[in-house]
């Protein structure tokens, strides 16, 4: 955990101002070079950050970027499935002591408009869910500033090549993933309460815990977060209905309290 905090501090200190300073990606310089007969695309932004498309097939696009600050080196990779536009972002840093720290996120993009970027980052290791909105961020607000910043440009690349409509469709149509631990660990009494008929789960899925737990995990990953009474909630449109999951965060963990369909 201490190493991760060091990683976060380095990232925020060296890159936040560069990557969230309102620089227009439209001014980026695009180049193509050929290595062993293969075309390698690069984009150099006005902030000096260079994006390199290291793999582009019918199925996958992989974008890499690297930043060196003193004796600290930061490497970020964005891996996008071209059909579903599922995105994974991984970051590594080698600090001045030669220690390697890694972070890995699945990313769900909600909106990209101009320089604004709204997305949900799911930590692969801890399943922590963090919402990113670049219009509301500050240097100390969130621990994954650099990951979000670099992912923003990777997303813009994908949208520029394949269209914003496709990206939004992919978010709403992706299949259910693994049930989150914050859902699977709910007590029997809590599950019984959530499955009550008044919560209308049959409108979007089977009225059983196996199906409902998948839907709730889906909403926690891809839903929009907002305040709800004394807690928080995630909402997502599914089958013409709005699915809501309420929860709170404490000591770095998520505790789910309820869920329903309207």
pLDDT in tens, 67-110: 665 665 667 787 777 666 677 888 776 666 777 767 788 877 77
pLDDT given for residue 16 in this prediction: 42
Note whether 208 and 121 are same-domain residues.
no
84 & 166 share domain: yes
Is residue 85 domain-shared with residue 120, that is, in the same domain?
yes
- More confidently predicted of 247 and 4: 247
Three-class DSSP labels, the chain: CHHHHHHHHHHHHHHHHHHCCCCCHHHCEEEEEEECCEEEEEEECCCCCEEEEEEECCCEEEEEEEEEECCEEEEEEEEEECCCCCEEEEEEEECCCCCEEEEEEEEEEEEEECCEEEEEEEECCCCCEEEEECCCCCCCCCCCHHHHHHHHHHHHHHHHHHCHHHHHHHHHHCCCCCCCHHHHCCCHHHHHHHCCHHHCHHHCCCCCHHHHHHHHHHHHHHCEEEEECCEEEEEEEECCEEEEEEEEEECCEEEEEEEEEC
Of 142, 173, 204, the domain-final residue = 173
- Say yes or no: 219 and 237 in one domain: yes
Q: Is the pLDDT of residue 219 over 80?
A: yes
Which residues fall within 8 angstroms of residue 164, CB to CB, at 6 or more apart? 112
Residue 208: which pLDDT band, with cuts at 50, 70 and 90?
very high
Can you give the pLDDT at residue 143? 39
Q: Are residues 15 and 141 in the same domain?
A: yes
- Kindly state the percentage of the chain with pLDDT values over 70: 53
Q: 6 pLDDT exceeds 90?
A: no
* Same-domain status, 224 and 161: no
Are 233 and 255 part of one and the same domain? yes
Q: Cα–chain-centroid distance for residue 159?
A: 16
Same domain, 218 and 144: no
Q: Do both 86 and 216 map to the same domain?
A: no
Q: Choose one of 154, 173, 192: the last residue of a domain.
A: 173
Which range marks the domain in which residue 93 is found? Answer: 2-173
Same domain, 61 and 169: yes
The total of structural domains in the chain comes to 2
Q: Is the pTM of this model over 0.75?
A: no
- Residues 111 and 42 grouped into a single domain: yes
Would you place residue 41 in the very low, low, confident or very high pLDDT band (cuts 50, 70, 90)? low
């Amino acid at each position: 955990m201490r190493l991760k905090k060091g990683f976060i501090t380095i990232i925020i200190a060296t890159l936040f101002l560069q990557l969230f300073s309102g620089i227009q990606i439209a001014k980026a310089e695009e180049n193509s070079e050929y290595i062993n007969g293969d075309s390698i695309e690069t984009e150099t932004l006005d902030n000096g950050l260079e994006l390199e498309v290291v793999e582009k097939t019918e199925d996958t696009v992989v974008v890499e970027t690297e930043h060196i600050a003193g004796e600290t080196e930061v490497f970020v990779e964005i891996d996008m499935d071209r059909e579903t536009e599922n995105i994974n972002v991984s970051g590594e840093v080698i600090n001045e002591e030669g220690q390697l720290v890694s972070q890995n996120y699945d990313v769900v993009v909600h909106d990209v408009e101009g320089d604004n970027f709204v997305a949900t980052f799911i930590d692969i290791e801890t399943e922590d869910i963090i919402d990113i909105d670049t219009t509301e961020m500050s240097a100390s607000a969130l621990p994954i500033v650099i990951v979000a910043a670099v992912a923003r440009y990777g997303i813009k690349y994908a949208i520029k090549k394949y269209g914003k409509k496709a990206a939004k469709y992919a978010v709403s149509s992706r299949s259910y993933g693994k049930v989150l631990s914050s859902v699977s660990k709910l007590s029997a009494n809590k599950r019984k309460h959530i499955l009550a008929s008044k919560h209308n789960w049959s409108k979007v899925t089977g009225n059983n815990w196996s199906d409902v737990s998948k839907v709730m995990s889906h909403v926690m990953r891809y839903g929009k977060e907002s305040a709800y009474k004394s807690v928080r909630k995630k909402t997502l449109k599914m089958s013409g209905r709005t699915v809501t999951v309420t929860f709170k965060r404490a000591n770095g963990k998520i505790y789910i309290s309820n869920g329903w369909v309207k």
